[in-house]
Homo-oligomer: A and B are copies of this chain.
């Protein structure tokens, strides 16, 4: 896909780097090295939480908050909670009883370093602590009712009606043929929910409502799917070295993916269409939504 379609390319790179540092610093506070708890547990949590990562979900939450007039600080608790929940889901997904992966972001997976028991507990703690951060890191301008609503939306997106359901269905459907519709529903839960909670949550914390919130919901819906289609494509088209994790594993396991259902060419077209759809949803926003527009390009045109 033509890389020149990415606007603000240079500026966006520094924006991204700056935001990644901003989120990273906050995450270090959210899971302190010498916490009140058990030192080895904190270490295992930090091993996965602070192992890099693009931080797309959290940066999207900050950008959505700012798009409606909030400050990045207003959504910082949500940003951390999103990364903590994303991180826990990776740690548990990598476990021997799940995907049994040895490599994540170019490093041994959590259970390869800390053992299965500690990895399970580190995931549990990251998930639980995410809600602690969400319930306590507030700026005074966010009403408590809004904070509660954001907790509810994130828990819904991550729980038995969302991400965990998607993961369970994914495991159960291995080797089974899925229709495009079934695949879309599965990914809507497994991946889309967190993007939705990121963008809507950020918008709510920034004071967004009505038509603005609706537009951002449409953006999130398209971008969540675009992310997954692109992930499926990267799994087929990239090497393990580039990705820092095992690739080509979906095909090996007989998992239905967009490339397997649509072919490479149509999957690329779909990703581009979803990107355009996401950007079109931001029409009523001015410059304040430029980061969200650039993030849409980034999600689809990224190389890892």
Contacts and interface: CB of A to CB of B under 8 A. Distances in A.
B168 A38 contact: yes
A124 interface: yes
A1 interface: no
A164 B92 contact: no
A125 B160 contact: yes
Contact of A42 (B115, B148, B160): B160
B131 A164 contact: no
A118 to B, nearest CB: 6
B120 A97 contact: yes
Interface stretch (A11-19, A29-37, A209-217, A265-273): A29-37
A26 interface: no
B128 A158 contact: yes
Contacts of A167: 121
Q: Give how many copies assemble into the complex.
A: 2
A164 B97 contact: no
A164 B35 contact: no
Contacts of A159: 37, 125, 128-129, 132
Nearest to A158: B128
Interface string A34-68: 01111011100100000000000000000000000
B121 A38 contact: no
A132 B144 contact: no
Given A135-B155, A144-B144, A152-B136, A165 B120 contact: no
A101 to B, nearest CB: 13
Residue in A127, A149, A169 whose Cβ sees the most chain B Cβ within 10 Å? A127
Contact of A128 (B116, B127, B172): B127
A95 interface: yes
Contact of A144 (B145, B169, B171): B145
Nearest to A118: B168
Interface of A: 31, 35-38, 40-42, 45, 88, 92, 95, 97-98, 115-118, 120-121, 123-129, 131-132, 134-136, 143-145, 147-149, 151-152, 155-156, 158-162, 164-169, 171-172, 189
Given A38-B165, A38-B169, 17 more contacts: A36-B161, A37-B159, A37-B164, A38-B160, A41-B164, A88-B124, A92-B121, A97-B116, A97-B117, A118-B171, A120-B120, A121-B164, A121-B171, A124-B124, A128-B155, A135-B148, A135-B151
